[in-house]
Amino acid sequence: MFYFGLFRHAAAGMPFTVSHLGSGGLTTRRPAGNRFRFEFCRDIRSNLIALQHIPFTPNTPSSMNTSRLLVLALVLAVALPGASAQRTVVPRALPPDPFTPVEDVAALPRVLLIGDSISMGYTVPVRKLLEGKANVHRIPENGGATRAGLAKIDAWLGTEKWDVIHFNWGLHDLMFDPTSQRDPAQYEKDQLALYEKNLRTLVARLKQTGAKLIWASSTPVAEEMSSPRSPSHRSAVVKIYNDIAAKVMAENGIPVDDLYTYVEPVQDKMRKPHDVHFGDEGSDFLAKKVAEEIAKALPPRTTGQR
């Protein structure tokens, strides 16, 4: 009916203009002011197509009108397959924001999460798992590399007391392309040494808070990302950086939340394709381990606490 109406008006030599194609249908106009509305029934994957002011007139050579109609028909055929009933589009709810400020519950211990986008993924589920047990905060941004940590650690820690700090740096430190350097091997060594130096400085600063510290190892990088197209994503290097961090933590008596070993056996199922990040299932999986380690470090409850 939709296509028949379009072609019927054109074949009859009646000039009309496609003035709007959107969620409600397609409207055509004739000079006399008559209005024809042809309903269709699809939101076209939430991105509505608008075709504006496509004229069809009897004074235009028939070949041009025919071409325009064919183009329009092709667009509609692709955009509206199998449309049969008007559908109401319900906006999807936005996912919880890990940066939403936390209002502390009195008498509950205060926990701070420091880390990159991997930690951003598990922040909200960790909060849910520790609800009623701890006030779980996180730094207000992606923690990035250790150099970013050095520049911002004082602001992130603030002046409030922290009972537990769960922290990580690593993936952003190792994501560089050594082959772009004049001496790749030496550059790699220099970056590893810089990572260790920065990490030691950060650990010393965190220890000044008096909080119980928990180091989280960096999570695996997909093998398929370690390619000439993305030379900075090198799966084999993650273990090297984790080993350096583990040495620093052992020297400082800081327990390690070994997220690398924990998620490695299921990483292909949990991680997004061709990505370092995890989907919701993967973030929830990591959150269970993080919450478990934090719970072990929480101070004992005092009398009167639930």
pLDDT in tens, 182-207: 998 898 999 999 999 999 999 999 99
Integer CA distances (angstroms), 167 to 46, 202, 293, in order: 39, 10, 12
The whole-chain average pLDDT of the chain stands at: 77
On whether residue 303 sits in a domain, the answer given is: no
Residue closest to 127 by CA, chosen among 302, 257, 305, 284:
284
The pTM score is 0.68
Residue closest to 271 by CA, chosen among 233, 231, 244:
233
Domain range holding 54? 2-79
Do 146 and 227 sit in the same domain of this protein? yes
Q: Where does the pLDDT of residue 90 fall: very low under 50, low under 70, confident under 90, or very high at 90 and above? A: low
Do 138 and 217 sit in the same domain of this protein? yes
Residue closest to 277 by CA, chosen among 172, 165, 198, 199:
172
Q: What is the pLDDT of residues 214-247, one digit of tens each?
A: 999 999 988 766 545 555 667 789 999 999 999 9
Q: What is the pLDDT of residues 6-59, one digit of tens each?
A: 444 444 444 444 444 444 444 444 444 444 333 333 333 333 333 444 444 444
Residue 93's pLDDT is 58
* Intra-chain end-to-end CA distance of the chain, in Å: 67
Q: Are 178 and 237 in contact (CB under 8 A)?
A: no
Residues in the chain: 306
On whether residue 101 sits in a domain, the answer given is: no
Q: Which of 79, 98, 125 is the last residue of a domain?
A: 79
Do 139 and 242 sit in the same domain of this protein? yes
Do 122 and 265 sit in the same domain of this protein? yes
CA distance 288 to 266: 14
Q: Which of 26, 61, 79 is the last residue of a domain?
A: 79
Residue closest to 21 by CA, chosen among 67, 83, 64:
83
Do 143 and 192 sit in the same domain of this protein? yes
Do 146 and 72 sit in the same domain of this protein? no
Backbone angles phi, psi at 20, to 5 degrees: -160, 135
Residue 72's pLDDT is 52
Number of domains in the chain: 2
